[in-house]
A and B are shown apart, each in its own frame.
Chain A
Amino acid sequence: METNLDARGKACPMPVIMAKKEMDAGNLQFSITVDNDIAVQNLKRLADSQGYQGSVRETGGVYTMDLHKKGGSEPRLSQPLQDQPAKTAGQAHPPRSWAVFLGKDTIGDGDQTLGESLARMFFYTLAQSEDLPRWIIFMNHGVKLPALDDQVAEHLETLQEKGCRIMVCGTCLNFYGLQEALRIGMISNMYDITVCLQEADKVITL
């Protein structure tokens, strides 16, 4: 009989944890019910990363996601991340397997304004560079950059168009009350972020 997990009322990342446990237990087909769109997005990414196919039904703000393992394929943790195409036509240098990690909204410690200026200039320079990271990850105070800084958001948009994946910690956005303010990037969770850090050949922490 098909398992149906009820994750309504469960805060992030509980729905993802529940679904992951089911997958780890070898359940090839099950469904999970949640009550918010962020959980759906997180579950979709989990499904992709674990080789599951998902379809979502919504009724009155309640989402039921049916998941089943894609035929014969082994879990490929990096699949959705590595298959991201370089979207810009003629982009000669698609992103390589490295990541930039920002746990604060400045570069370095010291004067706040100087640190913010350095962050802006870093992303300006990176956006014009030919060697692009596959992932740019924002956590803790770092989420303020894609949410509140117009200039950084603009550079991130350019980077995203060139194929970089901008990942923004959903827990952190929630903590700072910035979910609605996010300008660019994908709301992400500790699972996805950890996988990126594990997959990356190098991680540059600013």
Chain B
Amino acid sequence: MDFGVITFASTHAAIRTQKHLERHLRVTMMPTLREISQGCGISLRFALSELENVRRRMAAYDLDPKMFAIYRIRMVQGKYQAEQVDADRREE
């Protein structure tokens, strides 16, 4: 089952972002996958159908783009594969 995750460079950013995003869409807190090595252990999982929504909201959100990354996660032969999605785009 494919899904999207947002990873963060700090725990505080992850918790703050969850509070923001959960007002608009469904996100689930999860430990950052081993396949994605980031400084902070908290990620937010979302349905890929929300990817564009997440990108838009994160671009408009008051958080330095260097502090987070968005990934598309695929399960390939029983293992997760993470592909980073461009998160730098800003809302027009």
Chain A residues packing against B (C-beta within 8 Å): 113-114, 117, 120-121, 124-125, 151, 154
Contacts and interface: CB of A to CB of B under 8 A. Distances in A.
A113 B11 CA distance: 10
B29 A120 contact: yes
Interface string B2-44: 0000000001001100100000000011110000000001100
Contacts of B15: 113-114, 117
A125 B11 contact: no
A114 to B, nearest CB: 7
A3 to B, nearest CB: 52
20 contacts: A113-B15, A114-B11, A117-B11, A117-B14, A117-B15, A117-B18, A117-B29, A120-B28, A120-B29, A121-B30, A121-B31, A121-B41, A121-B42, A124-B28, A124-B29, A124-B30, A124-B31, A125-B30, A151-B29, A154-B28
Nearest to B42: A117
Interface of B: 11, 14-15, 18, 28-31, 41-42
Nearest to B41: A121
Nearest to A125: B31
Contacts of A121: 29-31, 41-42
Nearest to A119: B29
A121 B42 CA distance: 8
Nearest to B16: A113
A117 B31 CA distance: 10
Given A117-B15, A121-B31, 10 more contacts: A113-B15, A117-B11, A117-B14, A117-B18, A120-B28, A121-B29, A121-B30, A124-B31, A125-B31, A151-B29
Contacts of B18: 117
A81 to B, nearest CB: 29
Given A113-B15, A114-B15, A151 B28 contact: yes
A60 B88 CA distance: 65
Nearest to A121: B31
A154 B27 CA distance: 12
B5 to A, nearest CB: 12
Contacts of B11: 114, 117
Nearest to B43: A121
A117 B41 CA distance: 11
A154 B45 CA distance: 14
Closest 7 CB pairs of A and B: A120-B29, A124-B30, A121-B31, A151-B28, A113-B15, A121-B29, A117-B29
Contacts of A154: 28
A61 B10 CA distance: 55
